[in-house]
Structure 1
Amino acid sequence: MAETRLPPHDLDAEEAVNGSLLIDGKAIYEIATFLRPEDFFSPANRSIYQSCLNLYQRDEAINKITVSQELSRLGNLEKSGNLAYLSHLASIVPTSLEILHFARIVQRLSVMRQLILASEKIADIGYGGEADAVTALNKAEDVLFRLRNKRGDADFVHIRELLEQYFEAPPELEPGALQPKTSVHSGFTGLDELLGGFQRSDLVIVAGRPSMGKTSFALNIARNAAVL
């Protein structure tokens, strides 16, 4: 008799993720951008993580009490083991420091399960008697493409990190030196030598009396910056 194999999963890792969130709700910032409720194999752990995400999206605290209340609101508290299971989860991890490690395990095994499902769909295409082999191959490729596209590999980045990079102070330069990668040339040699080019964080004000050529000067800078 053929042995029935369970799909790839790691209940310990799933429990470690949820347990980490119950003792340190802020840990969800590390995983919310890539770990999804459907990545959990256990229905109970899936519901608990979904409740944590709901609280996170409403900017509410994540702990045993709030999660149990959210589970109750959704009608999932009893199906998720009640407070007893939440208490168990909170007791199995000493800290939340390893939550990213466990979350990656849960995500990886979720991809493996989805890959198995995709292979079954591809097998159905093969058994379907498609007259055109190219059409069958295109359908099979589409199954895998949809899986890859559904997962996505890009993580969100906090806007603070982007702003810090964008407005990062450029390195000290010798007088008159320009760094092409960080500065914009004005096209006016004297001005470039004085300022070292325009930097990202610069606020440059062109002041002068009316009809003194401020607009023409600015347009010339814009033109030079585009071609230099």
Structure 2
Amino acid sequence: MNGEKLPPHDIDAEEAVNGSLLIDGTAIYRIATFLNQQDFYSEQNQLVYGACLSLYQRNEAINQITVAQELDRRGKLETCGGAAYLSHLISIVPTSLDIENYAQIVYRLSLMRHLISAAGQIEAIGYAADPDVDASLSKAEDVLFRLRHGQSPRDFVHVRQVLDKYFETAPGPTTEAEGYRGTLPQALSGFIGLDEFLGGFQPSDLVIIAGRTSLGKTSLALSIARNAAVEQGACVALFSLEMAQEP
């Protein structure tokens, strides 16, 4: 009996990723920033996902027909199981809603396989028994550094992801007269023109009010603080290096 272990992988999760893309090609925007073709264990699923990535990079639609054409153009359609395999992928997932969860499973297991490979490289460094211990440790550290550095998501993010998050927190009506009910997602200055221009103050904002002496910078800051605290119930703290506690 062969006791050798297979590398960590989940074929069901890989097929679920590809099936989700064949159902909803736009779902690739949610995973393309961190999931690569090489993260798939199965060659079939590598080929299918690679075809999806190529279509995505060319800004073309992703569906069963276009993926089949892309695979055929590469001469890989039969290698990955043909049109029948693509139909199978579509049949195993009802929607693409959970594609990020599936993709995270594929990515995590891919990282574990890379970790096993890195362990083998470090083992080889140890067996080499280099008299220079510091050099051996540096080589081992370099292996782990490359592994950790390679797992970072790519810098480019599709604009749709950014806009979706923005519109979730974008300012809507700001008063009850305009139809607003509930807690505002950001603090407003209370000055309509300024709020329309800035969209309110977001939690991550650092806003600097600049101007010459005696032009009303402090008065404006105090008015904004007052409006946020009194009109919106926001928690406001004021720190001043110029003003005394009492007039």
Q: 1:157 to 1:56 in 2, by over 3 A?
A: closer
Judging changes above 3 Å, is the alpha-carbon distance between structure 1 residues 156 and 91 closer, same or farther for their aligned structure 2 residues?
A: same
Deviation at 1:190, TM superposition (A): 1.7
The residue correspondences of 1:138-153 to structure 2 (distance < 5 A) are 138-153=138-153
Please give the residue correspondences for 1:143-182 in structure 2 after superposition, counting only pairs within 5 Å.
Answer: 143-153=143-153, 156-159=156-159, 161=162, 171-172=188-189, 181-182=206-207
Within the candidate set 162, 177, 186, 2:211 is matched to 186
Secondary structure, aligned partner of 1:184: coil
State the Cα deviation string for residues 168-208 of structure 1 (Å, max 9, x = none).
8862158xxxx9931332133225257659xxxxxxxxxxx
Q: Report SS of the residue matched to 2:135.
A: helix
| Residues 53-68 of structure 1 mapped to structure 2, 5 A cutoff | 53-68=53-68
Quickly say closer, same or farther: Cα 1:89–1:159, change in 2 above 3 A. Answer: closer
TM-score by length of structure 1 reads: 0.76
Query: Kindly tell me: are residues 164 and 191 of structure 1, through their superposed partners in 2, closer, same or farther at Cα, counting changes over 3 Å?
Result: farther
Q: SS of the residue aligned with 2:6?
A: coil
* Inter-CA distance 2–89: structure 2 relative to 1 (3 Å threshold): closer
Letter in 2 for 1:24: D
CA RMSD of aligned residues (A): 2.7
Q: For residue 152 of structure 1, report the CA deviation from its aligned partner.
A: 1.1
SS in 1 for 2:103: helix
Question: Residues 130-172 of structure 1, C-alpha deviation per residue, up to 9 Å, x if partnerless?
Answer: 111111110000000011111214664445738959x988621
Structure 1 runs not aligned, ≥5 long: 198-228
Secondary structure of the structure 2 residue equivalent to 1:79: coil
* Structure 2: segments with no counterpart, 5+ residues: 172-185, 192-200, 223-247
Q: 1:158 to 1:45 in 2, by over 3 A?
A: closer
Question: In 1, are the aligned partners of 2:8 and 2:109 still within 8 Å (CA)?
Answer: yes
| Distance in 1 separating the partners of 2:54 and 2:79 | 18
Instruction: Give how far 1:109 is off.
Output: 0.1
SS at match of 2:130: coil
Shift of 1:85: 0.2
Deviations 1:65-92 (A, max 9, x none): 0000000111110110000000000010
Q: Percent identity?
A: 53
**Paired letter, 1:181:** L
Structure 2 contact 40–46 (Cα < 8 Å) conserved: yes
Instruction: Tell me the equivalent position of 1:29.
Output: 29
- 1:219 maps to none
Q: Contact 2:29–2:158 (CA<8 Å) still a contact in 1?
A: no
The verdict on how the C-alpha distance between 1:96 and 1:142 changes in structure 2, with shifts beyond 3 A counting, is: same
